Amino acid sequence: MSTTTPTPPSPEAGAEKDLNARIDRIPSYTSRMRWLIILLALMFGFDLVDIQTFGLVAPALQREWGISSDQVGLLQSMVFVGGLIGALIAGPLADRIGRRPVAIGAVLLFSLGSLASAFAPSPEILGALRVVTGIGVTAGTTAILVAASEFFPKALRGRGIAIITLVSVLIIPLVVIVANATVPTGQWHVVFLFGALGLFVAVPAFWLLPESPRWQASRGQLDRAERTVRLFEDQYTKGGRRTLPAPVVLDEVAPVEERSVWSIFKPLFLRRTIVATLIFVGLAVLNTGVNSWLPVILNQRGHPLDQVYSWIVVLSFGGLAGTFLATFVIELFERKWLVFTVAAVTGVGYLFLGFVDTVPVILGAGLTAVIASSILSTAVFTYTPEIFQTEVRGVGTGFAQAASRIMTIANAVIIGVILVTSTEAVFVYLAAVTVLICVMAVLGPKVGVREARAARRAGQAEQKRFNADAAK
């Protein structure tokens, strides 16, 4: 009878564990980390800007080019087709060549696509440019979320992504202001030019955005990873005036035998792939369902359009409030249970909206659902990349993003069909999607938020003792 001896971990795997632990032990953001948050937020923000752009210019395009509503819908879908391609390409590329080149390249691509869209002479050319822009948009989202998941200490990761999302959301009202000032006068081109401002972020990023040290360590580039981690440590300790706690391994790094697009479907990652994909798909259904259809549904129920739009303005502040609130709650709870809770609250809010048609309920339940779904978005943006190991994080996140883009296209048809039955059925459908998200959250893995928070508190306590001893 023969036996096999387990292969011992390689020195690189041990060094990767140590490097990850050294990042995770830093108790607060360093100055370089703060600059990274700003840079990534601007890159991510122009991504979100482009998604908003077409809906703002569509009426002007109809007037100038004489195109039908069906043609407008086709043009709108082109960005999602490109998004599907971008997500499928960006994930594997980010795992193979790094987060940095994919993120910067994607921002350049969608900025140039938006710039060219401003001068599109026909719907056909604009449609082609929307595909190109969509590739850049989703490739950027994938690479930026993955990079953000790796730059920051584990106990601060969620808050970093929450701040990135918040800054991005704050950019969107600027686009609306620009659109209101230019589109009515026929200058719809200016709105696309606003999206092209991403060029002024991508160019400095060539010098300011480092590669993810966790990715570098996973690829055996330990010297390069060491330089970035040492910079973080030196900035925190401030030349010996502060002390760092001893490294504690919070994430076990298991060897990944195969680095390919198929790795996420192997037994080691299959469950995580299913969880991440269905949660991301559910989030896409909720976001596109409410944003696109709520004005139509309320108007169909007999509410005047001017009143409906005033309610939508009020509800839009709920989205901002929810994203702001997420910066405080994201690190208080285990990630999967936060996803579960806010998804459940969102579902209850939708059921009230569906079956009680009074102004107090529309505003109260609507605000509750919008605030909860905004927190859900931030939680999903954080949770999805971090349940995958570094070696397959890009592929896993990209696949989930690609599936969500497919569902975004299908969701418009699904809700349109359901709406023929009744408006109540639409909200039942959306509530059912929140149940799916809750189930996936229960099945998803824990990511150790409580342990990371405890390690951070221990590090802060050690810093206080160090300060007290230094003062003697």
170 and 65 in a common domain: yes
Q: Structure tokens of 454?
A: 């405890």
The span from the CA of 398 to the CA of 88, in Å, is: 6
Q: What's the pLDDT score for residue 8?
A: 41
- Residue stretches of the chain with pLDDT short of 50: 1-10, 253
213 and 306 in a common domain: no
Please indicate, yes or no, if residue 248 is contained in any of the structural domains.
no
297 and 200 in a common domain: no
Please indicate, yes or no, if residue 469 is contained in any of the structural domains.
no
Q: What's the pLDDT score for residue 2?
A: 37
Q: What's the pLDDT score for residue 455?
A: 73
- Contact at 8 Å (CB) between 256 and 29? no
Please indicate, yes or no, if residue 142 is contained in any of the structural domains.
yes
What's the burial of 378, exposed, middle or buried (CB within 10 Å: 0-12/13-18/19+)?
buried
The span from the CA of 472 to the CA of 242, in Å, is: 15
Please indicate, yes or no, if residue 47 is contained in any of the structural domains.
yes
Each residue of 230-253: pLDDT tens digit? 999 999 888 667 788 777 766 554
Q: What's the pLDDT score for residue 252?
A: 52
166 and 90 in a common domain: yes
Please indicate, yes or no, if residue 449 is contained in any of the structural domains.
yes
269 and 216 in a common domain: no
Q: Structure tokens of 329?
A: 């709650």
Task: Write down the pTM of the prediction.
Answer: 0.88
The span from the CA of 273 to the CA of 268, in Å, is: 10
CA atoms within 13 A on the CB side of 308: 15
Any idea what DSSP says for residue 5? P
64 and 181 in a common domain: yes
290 and 144 in a common domain: no
Domain that holds residue 422: 263-453
Q: What is the CATH number of the domain that holds 137?
A: 1.20.1250.20
DSSP string, 174-204: HHHHHHHHHGGGT-THHHHHHHGGGHHHHHH
Please indicate, yes or no, if residue 270 is contained in any of the structural domains.
yes
What domain count does the chain have?
Answer: 2
281 and 165 in a common domain: no
326 and 208 in a common domain: no
The span from the CA of 172 to the CA of 316, in Å, is: 11
* Torsion angle defined by CA atoms of residues 127, 49, 104 and 99, in that order, rounded to the nearest 10 degrees: -100
Based on its alpha-carbon atoms, the radius of gyration of the chain, rounded to whole angstroms, reads 23
Q: What's the pLDDT score for residue 254?
A: 56
427 and 289 in a common domain: yes
